[in-house]
C-alpha cells in the first residue's frame, strides 16, 4: 500500500485486517472484528480524518480501539450488545451491526478522533507465548535440539513487553498441535494448532528465574484506565478477551520488573545486571520489527557484544521487514527459503520464529517456524 494516497492506505489497512479475520474457516466469533474493520473502511469521513495521522500510528487499528473503548464505556444502544465482555460468550452477530456502527461512528466522530490523537495502539497477544515457548522448547528444553544441563535456571528478557504478559510464559499451559506442556494447574491454557507435516517439539520450558521486561511505553496493570485501553486494543472476540483477562491476572499475581525505555538503549544495562550463572533468553514478539534499520543493527550489536562475555539466545517472533506486504527479510537476518518470502508477499502476513545464539566470536542461527500473528497456529520448519 506504500504508493497509495494516505486515505487509501488507511482503508487498505482496515480491509487487510478485516480479511485476516474472515478466512473461509473463520469461527463465528470472528465476525464482529471483521465487520468492525469493514465499517471503518467504509466510513469516508473517518478514513479521511485518520489519513492525517502519521503512518506509524496504525490508524485503522487505532480507530478500532477508540470505537471499542467508547462502546464499552458508554454502552450505546444498539451497538453495545454486539461487543463481548471478558469471560462471557460472544454475543450473536446480525446484519443490524453495519448500520448501527456507521451511525455511531458518524455521531461520535470527534470523540473517536480525539482518542486516536492522544492514544497509541498497543496490542498484547498472550497466545504468542505458545509459539515462543515451542521455540524455547526446541533450543533449550529437555529433549530439545541443544538441551541445557537439567536444573539450569535461565534468565528471561522480554523486549517490547507491553503489559508484561510474555514474562510469565512458564506459568501458562500449552496445547500445541496434539502435545500438552506446562503446569497442569495453570489458570490459562493457550492452544495453538499445528500446520504442515512436521510436528513441532513440545513447548516444555527450562526453569526460568530472573525476568525483566522492556518497553518504551509499559502498561501499568494496576491503573484501571490503562487496563481499559489495553482491552480496547484487543480484537472484540470472546476468546481473545478471556485469555487477555486470565493473563492479566497472572501478571498481577506475579509482579515482574519492567524497565521503561527504548529497548536498544536499555538492553545493555538489563543484561549486565543478570547474574553470570544464568544463561540468557531474550524474547521478542512483534517488537524488533518496529525498529528502523539502524536501530535493529544496534540491537544485534548489543546481543553480539553480550555474547562475547556469556551466551545469549535471541528468539524472535516477528513479521518480515520492511514491515508491510513487501517484507522479504527476517529481522534476525536468517536465510529464508525463497518460497517463504514469496508466500509472505502474496498471501499476507505471518510471523517468522527464529533463534540466534551469540557466543564469543560466533553466532548460531536457526529458522524454526512460521506462525500466525495471533498465536493460532504454527508451521514447524526446522528439521
Q: What residues make contact with ligand SAM under the rule CB under 6 A?
A: 122-125, 128, 160-162, 166, 214-217, 262-263, 285-287, 290-291
**Helix, coil or strand: residue 282:** strand
Phi, psi of 41 (to 5 degrees): -65, -25
State in angstroms the smallest separation of the CB of 219 from ligand SAM. Answer: 7
Which residue number, 20 or 162, has a Cβ lying nearer to ligand SAM?
162
Which residue number, 31 or 237, has a Cβ lying nearer to ligand SAM?
237
**Contacts of 241 by beta carbon, 8 Å cutoff, 6+ apart:** 84, 85, 86, 87, 231, 234
- Residue 19 near residue 37, CB atoms below 8 Å: no
How far out from the chain centre does Cα 196 lie? 22
Which residue number, 31 or 240, has a Cβ lying nearer to ligand SAM?
240
Phi, psi of 187 (to 5 degrees): -85, -5
State in angstroms the smallest separation of the CB of 20 from ligand SAM. Answer: 15
State in angstroms the smallest separation of the CB of 67 from ligand SAM. Answer: 19
Alpha carbon distances (Å) from 240 to 125, 228, 335, 365: 8, 15, 33, 32
State in angstroms the smallest separation of the CB of 74 from ligand SAM. Answer: 26
State in angstroms the smallest separation of the CB of 118 from ligand SAM. Answer: 15
Q: b or e along 263-274 (b: 16 or more beta carbons within 10 Å of the residue's beta carbon)?
A: bbebbeebbeeb
Q: DSSP class of residue 356?
A: E
Which is nearest to 93 in space by CA: 37, 38, 34? 34
State in angstroms the smallest separation of the CB of 282 from ligand SAM. Answer: 12
Which residue number, 108 or 128, has a Cβ lying nearer to ligand SAM?
128
State in angstroms the smallest separation of the CB of 204 from ligand SAM. Answer: 21
d(CA 87, CA 46): 31
- Residue 354 near residue 370, CB atoms below 8 Å: no
List alpha helices for the chain, DSSP H: 6-20, 31-42, 44-50, 59-74, 97-107, 109-118, 128-139, 224-233, 238-253, 263-272, 293-309, 338-347
Which residue number, 166 or 200, has a Cβ lying nearer to ligand SAM?
166
d(CA 78, CA 93): 12
Which residue's Cβ has the minimum distance to ligand SAM? 160
Which residue number, 79 or 331, has a Cβ lying nearer to ligand SAM?
331
State in angstroms the smallest separation of the CB of 165 from ligand SAM. Answer: 6
Which residue number, 81 or 295, has a Cβ lying nearer to ligand SAM?
295
Which residue number, 103 or 217, has a Cβ lying nearer to ligand SAM?
217
Amino acid at each position: 500500500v506504500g504508493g497509495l494516497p494516505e486515505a487509501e492506505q488507511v482503508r487498505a489497512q482496515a480491509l487487510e485486517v478485516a480479511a485476516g479475520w474472515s478466512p473461509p474457516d473463520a469461527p463465528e466469533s470472528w465476525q464482529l472484528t471483521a465487520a468492525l474493520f469493514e465499517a471503518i473502511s467504509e466510513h469516508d469521513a473517518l478514513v479521511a480524518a485518520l489519513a492525517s495521522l502519521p503512518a506509524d500510528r496504525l490508524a485503522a487499528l487505532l480507530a478500532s480501539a477508540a470505537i471499542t473503548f467508547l462502546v464499552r464505556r458508554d454502552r450505546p444502544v444498539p451497538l453495545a450488545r454486539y461487543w463481548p465482555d471478558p469471560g462471557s460468550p460472544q454475543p450473536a452477530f446480525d446484519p443490524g451491526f453495519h448500520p448501527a456502527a456507521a451511525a455511531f461512528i458518524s455521531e461520535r466522530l470527534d470523540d473517536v478522533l480525539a482518542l486516536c490523537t492522544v492514544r497509541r495502539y498497543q496490542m498484547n497477544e498472550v497466545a504468542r507465548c505458545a509459539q515462543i515457548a515451542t521455540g524455547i522448547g526446541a533450543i533449550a528444553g529437555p529433549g530439545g535440539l541443544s538441551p541445557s544441563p537439567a536444573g539450569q535456571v535461565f534468565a528471561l528478557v522480554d523486549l517490547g513487553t507491553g503489559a508484561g504478559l510474555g514474562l510469565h510464559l512458564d506459568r501458562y499451559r500449552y496445547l500445541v498441535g496434539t502435545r500438552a506442556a506446562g503446569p497442569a494447574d495453570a489458570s490459562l491454557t493457550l492452544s495453538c494448532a499445528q500446520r504442515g507435516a512436521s510436528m513441532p517439539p513440545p513447548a516444555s520450558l527450562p526453569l526460568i528465574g530472573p525476568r525483566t521486561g522492556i518497553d518504551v511505553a509499559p502498561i501499568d496493570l494496576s491503573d484501571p484506565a490503562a487496563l481499559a485501553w489495553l482491552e480496547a486494543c484487543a480484537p472484540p472476540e470472546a476468546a481473545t478477551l478471556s485469555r487477555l483477562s486470565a493473563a492479566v491476572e497472572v501478571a498481577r499475581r506475579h509482579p515482574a520488573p519492567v524497565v521503561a525505555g527504548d529497548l536498544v538503549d536499555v538492553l545493555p544495562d538489563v543484561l549486565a545486571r543478570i547474574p553470570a550463572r544464568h544463561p540468557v533468553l531474550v524474547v521478542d514478539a512483534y517488537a524488533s520489527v518496529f525498529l528502523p534499520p539502524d536501530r535493529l543493527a544496534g540491537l544485534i550489536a548489543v546481543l553480539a557484544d553480550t555474547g562475547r562475555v556469556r551466551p545469549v539466545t535471541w528468539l524472535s517472533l516477528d513479521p518480515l521487514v520492511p514491515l508491510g506486504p513487501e517484507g522479504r527479510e527476517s529481522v534476525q537476518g536468517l536465510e529464508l527459503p525463497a518460497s517463504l518470502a514469496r508466500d509472505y508477499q502474496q498471501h499476507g502476513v505471518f510471523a517468522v520464529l527464529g533463534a540466534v545464539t551469540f557466543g564469543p566470536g560466533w553466532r548460531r542461527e536457526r529458522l524454526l517456524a512460521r506462525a500466525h500473528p495471533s498465536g493460532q497456529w504454527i508451521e514447524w520448519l526446522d528439521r
